[in-house]
Amino acid sequence: CGRGGSVSTYGAYNCLSLIKDLDRKHEDLTVIPGVEAFPFYYWRENLLQGQLTMVDGHKHFLALGLTEPSDYENMPTIGEGFFRGYNSQSLLSLWPLALLIFAVKVYLQSRRAERPVLFKIPAQIFFVVGVLFLINNYPYKFGKYDAYGGDQGQQPYQDFIDYVVDRGGLVFWAHPEAGKDQTYAMGPLTVGMETEAPYQDLLELNNYTGFAAFYEGMKYVIPPGGIWDQVLTEYCFGQRRRPIWAIAEGDVEGDSFDPGLSQTVFMVKENTQPALLEALRNGQIYALSGPFADDLSLDTFTLTNEEDVQVGMGQTLKAQEVRLVASISLNGNEKRNALSADLIKNGILIQTFKGAGKINIDLRDTLENGPRHHYYRLDVRAPNQTRLLSNPIFAHTSDS
């Protein structure tokens, strides 16, 4: 909320009020509440060498659709304490009581001493120090994780995902192929930030809604057989409760980035918050990137079965044989209208279609019998690294 600000500094209520005001003032614009969050990081110290490194601080998530201030105020992140509550550390935090008890005993001892001042002054010091530490430790609640306990594995991120989803929100991985390796000199210390590109984490975490394919998802995540297809295959074999969807994001600071270079297109009938959130939740979207993104469109992408039941992206069709129909168009002059569309089934590239300004696909396919689901998706390339990525359509046989 605001340049250089955050929900923590600006306040969740103020942020949500601002979003509502923008939504109300601009009838042609629908603003969805959300934040980019980094749930967890930890410090790695090598003080003998004067090194201090923040690890995994660049694992970011987009949390969308939460509408209550308390949803943000209690969000499980390292800054908010990860479910602060009473635990064994709460008892340990009461250690200043020992100082108070000791101070009282020393003070009582002063009554029998020949030189009481030698006991009263230490007693007063211990008492004041004990009170100060008791105040400092209040309210004696501690988070599930902290930044000084080393690597906590995937659980902090899973807790964050589950928290948002349980409250009706959506969670997308931001820039899953972007790592971080920077160091800064601060006097005698070298302070660093280190994050390995977290694309493998997409396989280890569950319950999230999707990921940002453009621009930091193109090398390892979206190619045929890549991370995305591995996750979708797990879903198709019943190893995951839900599939994950691809979106485009513009995660660039400053005003130099043109939002038109990275777009998420919504397949909705009305431009409202509920409709847009449902499209994101159900995969009825496709992602665009590149300088000609405004001119490239997925006009049709459907599966139809023998009974003429038709479904689109994010939906599932029951069928033995399917008819796949797709139409992609690129508006522009003849010098930049070359199109190439990869049709991917179950993580395998099965056919590439080429055209000039337009590609029409109409093919039939027979599904193998069995308990698994099957899926089809499109990856389209246009000139100047312009690209379109559909979300999958699923199908399963009648005996599934």
Nearest to 232 by CA among 246, 218, 253, 220: 246
Residue 55's identity, in one-letter code, is V
Q: Is residue 308 part of a domain?
A: no
Question: Rounded to whole angstroms, how far apart are CA atoms 263 and 286?
Answer: 8
Nearest to 172 by CA among 279, 111, 92, 249: 249
Residue 27 is classified by DSSP as: T
310-311, strands of its sheet edge to edge: 310-311, 296-304, 321-330, 358-366
Q: Is residue 291 part of a domain?
A: no
Q: Is residue 103 part of a domain?
A: yes
Chain segment 50-97, per-residue pLDDT in tens = 888 999 999 999 999 999 999 999 999 987 766 666 777 778 888 889
Q: Which residues pair with 26 in a beta bridge?
A: none
Mean local confidence (pLDDT), 185-203? 91
The answer on pLDDT for 291 being more than 80 is: yes
Q: Find tokens 């390796």 and name the residue.
A: 181
Chain segment 245-275, per-residue pLDDT in tens = 999 998 766 566 788 899 999 999 999 999 9
Q: Is residue 162 part of a domain?
A: no
pLDDT band at 5 (very low <50, low <70, confident <90, very high): low
Question: What does 249-273 look like in DSSP terms, one character per residue?
Answer: -----SS-S-GGGEEEEE--SS-SH
Nearest to 77 by CA among 56, 53, 52, 92: 56
Comparing 77-86, 102-111, 273-282, which segment has the lowest mean pLDDT?
77-86
Q: Beta 374-382 vs 338-345: how paired, if at all?
A: antiparallel
Q: Which ranges constitute the DSSP H helices of 155-305?
A: 155-166, 201-204, 227-236, 273-282
- What value does the CA radius of gyration of the chain take, rounded to a whole number of Å? 28
What total number of domains does the chain contain? 1
Q: How far apart are the first and last CA of the chain?
A: 47
Q: Which residues pair with 351 in a beta bridge?
A: 343
Q: Kind and range of the H or E element at 38?
A: none
Chain segment 127-184, per-residue pLDDT in tens = 988 888 888 777 777 678 888 889 999 999 999 999 999 999 999 999 999 999 998 8
The answer on pLDDT for 2 being more than 60 is: no
Nearest to 302 by CA among 392, 229, 210: 392
Q: Is residue 328 part of a domain?
A: no
Mean local confidence (pLDDT), 307-329? 97
Q: What residues have CB less than 8 Å from 336, skipping those under 6 apart?
A: 292, 330, 382, 383, 384
Provide the mean pLDDT of the chain.
Answer: 91
Residue 374's identity, in one-letter code, is H
Predicted local confidence at residue 186, as pLDDT: 79
Predicted local confidence at residue 317, as pLDDT: 98
Q: Is residue 100 part of a domain?
A: yes
Chain segment 336-383, per-residue pLDDT in tens = 889 999 999 999 999 999 999 999 999 999 999 988 999 999 999 999
CB 106 within 8 A of CB 125: no
Mean local confidence (pLDDT), 189-201? 94
For 187-203, give one letter per residue: b (16+ CB within 10 A) or e. eeeebbbbbebbbebbe
Question: Rounded to whole angstroms, how far apart are CA atoms 25 and 19?
Answer: 10
Provide the residue range defining the domain that includes 121.
Answer: 88-137
CB 245 within 8 A of CB 391: yes
Mean local confidence (pLDDT), 117-135? 85
The answer on pLDDT for 48 being more than 90 is: no
Question: Rounded to whole angstroms, how far apart are CA atoms 160 and 368?
Answer: 38
Q: Is residue 19 part of a domain?
A: no
Q: How many CA atoms lie within 13 A of 210 on its CB side?
A: 26
- Percentage of the chain modeled with pLDDT above 70: 95
Residue 329's identity, in one-letter code, is S
Q: Is residue 302 part of a domain?
A: no
What angle in degrees, to the nearest 10, is found between the helix axes of 96-110 and 117-137?
A: 160
Question: Rounded to whole angstroms, how far apart are CA atoms 37 and 77?
Answer: 8
